[in-house]
A and B are shown apart, each in its own frame.
Chain A
Amino acid sequence: MLSKRIIPCLDVRGGVLTKGVKFVGNVDIGDPVESARHYYEQGADEIVFYDITASHEGRGIFLDVVERVASQIFIPFSVGGGIRTVQDMRDVLLAGAEKVSVNSAAVNDPDIISQGAAQFGSQCVVVGMDVLKVGVSEKIPSGYEIVIHGGRKHMDLDAVEWARTCEALGAGELCVNSIDADGTKDGYELTLTRMIAEAVSIPVIASGGAGNPQHMVEAVTEGKATAALIASIVHYGEYTIPDIKAYMTGKGVKVRSVW
C-alpha cells in the first residue's frame, strides 16, 4: 500500500526562501538548497519549490537552484511558478526536477496540460489550483472558485469543474491550495479537498492551513488527499517531519518511516 506523503513547500523569491501569510508580508527565511537538503535528511517524501513571484512579475525559474537541489537530494521534487510553455517545463525537468507544476498558465491556456503530458508523461504534470470560497452560484456550483496571481484575479471558473478538466487533459496530480486557509494554521480546507478528491481519480495534494500534525491526519482521512503540503510549521521549527510522521503513524496513517 502506498504511504501518504508529507511534502514541504519552499516558496522562493529572488533565490531565497519566503513564507507568506495570505500572500502578503513575506519574510525571508534562507537558502532553498540548504533547506531542501535538511528536509530530505529529515524524511520529507517529496519537496515542492514554488517561485512565488514568477507568474506575477514575469520572472523565469531559477534553474541553477533546481540543478543544485537535484545534485544533493535523492527524492522526487517538483518545481512551479512562472511555467508558461512546454519549453519552460522541459527546462526544469532537464535541470533535474521530477515534476512540474502549472497554475495560472494552465487556467489561461489548458493546452499546456495536454502538451506537457504528451511530451513528458502525465506523472510529470501537476496542476496547482488556487481556490477561494465564494458561495454557491449558477456560475460556481461548488461554491469554490479558481483564482490566479496569488488570489488577486477571479476566473469565473468552478474549482471542481476545473479539476475534472485538468484530469481529462492528462494532469497526473492536483495540488489544491485554499487561499482562505493559507497561512491561518487552522487546518486544511477539508470540504474543498474532499470534494476535489472525490471528483477525480488522480492523486490530490492538500495545501494551505497546516498548523499541527492532526491537520495532516485530517487531510488524508476526512479530506481524502494522498499527500499534504506543509510550510511554516516546519520552516519555523514548531514541528519536525519525524514528529509529524510519528504522530500520523500513531493515528493509524501509513507514512514512510524509514529513510
Chain B
Amino acid sequence: MLAILDYKAGNQTSVSRALTHLGIDNAITADPAVLSAARGIVFPGVGAAGQAMHELTSTGLDALLRKLVQAGKPLLGICVGCQILLDYSAENDTTTLGIVPGQCAMFNPALTEEDGSPIKVPHMGWNRLKTVRETPLLAGIDAQAEFYFVHSYYPVPAPENVIATTDYGLQFCSVHGRDGLWAVQFHAEKSGRPGLRILENFADYCQEARRAQ
C-alpha cells in the first residue's frame, strides 16, 4: 500500500484517483502508524509553501517525514511536495523540511521564452523534460513526453541531485532526488500516460524495495 500524505494541501484526491486507476492500493492518511507501515509515501501538494509547512509542523508530520526518509522509506514529492523537501523556499520566506539540500526560487518575470516573449508566471501548461541522469523513476518515458506544470517557484537542489530539467525562460530543475527519494515539480497525476507511468515506476520501486528487505 502507498500512503498519500494528507496535510490539507490540496490534490490528495487526484493522486489517489490516479493510483486507483493504475490498480495501486493507496490510502490518504496523516496517521503515523499507517505512514510507517506503507511501502512508500506520495507527498503531494498545491498552494503556498508557508501554509504547507505550517500544516506539517503543527501536526508533527515534519519530524515523522524526516525520520521515515532517514530509515529508507521511499518517498515521491509532487509540486509543493517537491519544493518543501528542500531547506528553504523564497515563497513566504519559509524554512522548509531540509530533507534534500537546496532551496526554492521564484521565476523572474523578466525572463523570455524562445520566441522572445516574456514568460508568464505561473508556469502553467505542458512542457518537456531534459534528462540529466538516468533513474528508475523515469524508466520508459519518451524523450518528447510532456508534463503538466502549475507553479511560480522552482527547486534549486544541489547539482548532484538534479535528474531532469525543463526549459522555461531558463533551464530549471523539474525532477530531483536519488533512488528512493524523488521529487517532481509537475503534476504526475494530471500528465496523461507519461505521468501515470511515473507513478507506476514509483510503486514498482517501492514494491522491489519491500521485497529486498
Question: Is B one of A's binding partners?
Answer: yes
Interface-located stretch among A70-78, A101-109, A136-144, A186-194: A70-78
Interface-located stretch among A1-9, A147-155, A174-182: A1-9
User: By the criterion CB–CB under 8 Å, are B124 and A172 in contact?
Assistant: yes
State how many angstroms separate the Cβ of B141 from the closest Cβ of chain A: 9
By size class, the interface of chain A is 20 to 34
User: By the criterion CB–CB under 8 Å, are B125 and A2 in contact?
Assistant: yes
State how many angstroms separate the Cβ of B198 from the closest Cβ of chain A: 11
User: By the criterion CB–CB under 8 Å, are B191 and A258 in contact?
Assistant: no
User: By the criterion CB–CB under 8 Å, are A75 and B150 in contact?
Assistant: no
State how many angstroms separate the Cβ of B195 from the closest Cβ of chain A: 6
User: By the criterion CB–CB under 8 Å, are A203 and B126 in contact?
Assistant: no
**Would A1 and B14 be within 8 Å (CB), given that A71-B21, A74-B189 are in contact?**
no
| A123 contacts the other chain (CB 8 A) | yes
User: By the criterion CB–CB under 8 Å, are A259 and B193 in contact?
Assistant: yes
**Would A259 and B192 be within 8 Å (CB), given that A121-B46, A123-B150 are in contact?**
yes
User: By the criterion CB–CB under 8 Å, are B47 and A121 in contact?
Assistant: yes
Cα A259 to Cα B141 in complex, Å, equals 10
Q: Mark A216-232, 1 if CB is under 8 A from B, else 0.
A: 00000000001000000
Cα A259 to Cα B192 in complex, Å, equals 6
Interface residues of A in 161-176 (CB under 8 A from B): 172-173
User: By the criterion CB–CB under 8 Å, are B190 and A203 in contact?
Assistant: no
Q: Mark B13-26, 1 if CB is under 8 A from A, else 0.
A: 11001101100000
User: By the criterion CB–CB under 8 Å, are A5 and B126 in contact?
Assistant: yes
Complex contacts, B125 vs chain A, CB 8 Å: 2-3, 5, 45, 203, 226
Cα A45 to Cα B148 in complex, Å, equals 9
User: By the criterion CB–CB under 8 Å, are B190 and A98 in contact?
Assistant: yes
Cα A229 to Cα B120 in complex, Å, equals 20
Cα A60 to Cα B120 in complex, Å, equals 33
Select from chain B the residue with minimum beta-carbon distance to A122: B122
Q: Which of A71, A94, A258 contacts B146 (CB 8 A)?
A: A258
Q: Mark B144-156, 1 if CB is under 8 A from A, else 0.
A: 1110101000000
Interface residues of B in 156-213 (CB under 8 A from A): 167-168, 187, 189-196
Q: Which of B120, B190, B194 contacts A259 (CB 8 A)?
A: B194
Complex contacts, A49 vs chain B, CB 8 Å: none
User: By the criterion CB–CB under 8 Å, are B17 and A96 in contact?
Assistant: yes
Cα A76 to Cα B192 in complex, Å, equals 9
**Would A71 and B20 be within 8 Å (CB), given that A1-B167, A123-B122 are in contact?**
yes
User: By the criterion CB–CB under 8 Å, are B195 and A74 in contact?
Assistant: yes
| A40 contacts the other chain (CB 8 A) | yes
7 tightest CB-CB pairs across the interface, nearest first? A2-B125, A258-B144, A3-B126, A256-B146, A259-B192, A256-B126, A258-B145
With contacts A1-B167, A259-B193 known, what are 11 further pairs, Cβ within 8 A?
Answer: A1-B115, A2-B126, A3-B127, A74-B193, A98-B190, A121-B47, A172-B122, A173-B124, A256-B146, A258-B146, A259-B194
Interface residues of A (CB under 8 A from B): 1-3, 5, 40, 45, 70-72, 74-76, 94, 96, 98, 121-123, 172-173, 201-203, 226, 256-259
Sampled A-B contacts (17; CB under 8 Å): A2-B113, A2-B123, A2-B126, A2-B127, A3-B127, A5-B125, A45-B125, A70-B14, A74-B191, A74-B192, A76-B187, A121-B47, A123-B124, A203-B120, A203-B125, A256-B126, A258-B146
